[in-house]
Amino acid sequence: MIRIDPSEVSTGKLHGMMLGAIGPRPIAFASTIDEAGNPNLSPFSFFNVFSANPPILIFSPARRVRDNSTKHTLENSIATKEVVINIVNYDIVQQMSLSSTEYPDGVNEFDKAGLTMLPSEKIKSFRVAEAPVQFECKVNEIVSLGSEGGAGNLVICEVLLMHVKKDILDSDGKIDQHKIDQVARMGGNWYTRANMGMFEVPKPLSTIGIGIDALPDNVKNSTVFTGNDLGKLGNVERIPANIEVQDFVNNNSDIKDKIQDANLIEIHKFAQQYLDMDDINTAWNILAAIQ
């Protein structure tokens, strides 16, 4: 591995390496107004949610590396103590990118990007009408992390009102992660489209999984199973009992035939096929049948 000591490299190089390593990063499409009421719109990928009670979002408009200047979003947040954070989906990613152009003070990025200004209900800053979710926020605090180029400024926002488009909801009224179609920032010019690469990882059981350390030695030390495979196998409350395994095998003749004369590696590869399909029960019954 290479070693990078922040004190020994330029801020620009460190910035690029950090952003290349830490991602995907959600995007805060921040809408503000200045004291004269002029709108401003700009994206920031130093962003996340940090609390639900109170509802807190934090984003960070960093000082420019090249000349140590600050961005209009930060200046407006300081002056007006309010901001709308809009969520970016794939439908508006190109317009979002265009809005990041450093237009002169007073230029309306809504117009430049072809996005629609939608009046907010509790604050003066406008929402992006095309965004699937919009958060009207008051700025509780701004924490400066430094005075040199590249230093961040944590804009701590409290959500006053959240707007969600109905067409991204599922039948239970929750946000459908496929329908919202979010994009996130990577390093350089790269982005990622969340719903094109989504996969589910069930949360650990509320009753506590057995853990990888409790797996049979031949499973734990397998040359076939990956760490992810072992994680799935360890996230069960218990290993199937002998009588359950016998019933399973006797009721699944194709599996019984497959494992009857197979060696350990072949059986592990067979079980892995079911792990890849997240059928943990079948995988465990295959493995338990040879214990």
**pLDDT tens-digit profile of 136-147?**
999 999 999 988
Q: How far apart are CA 203 and CA 74, in angstroms?
A: 37
Q: Specify the 3-state DSSP secondary structure of 65.
A: coil
The residues, any chain, with a CB within 8 Å of residue 186's CB and separated by 6 or more, are 19, 20, 23, 24, 25, 192
Q: How far apart are CA 169 and CA 180, in angstroms?
A: 8
Residue 101's pLDDT is 84
Q: What are the strands, taking DSSP E only, across 133-193?
A: 133-144, 153-164, 183-185, 191-193
Report residue 286's pLDDT band, with 50, 70 and 90 as the boundaries: very high
**What's the pLDDT tens digit per position in 160-194?**
999 999 999 999 999 999 999 999 999 989 999 99
**What's the pLDDT tens digit per position in 90-121?**
999 989 998 988 888 878 999 999 999 999 99
- State the pTM of this model: 0.82
**What's the pLDDT tens digit per position in 17-34?**
999 999 999 999 999 999
Cα torsion through 73, 79, 85, 86, rounded to 10: -60
In the chain, alpha helices (H): 11-21, 72-80, 93-99, 109-113, 217-220, 227-234, 242-250, 253-260, 264-276, 280-288
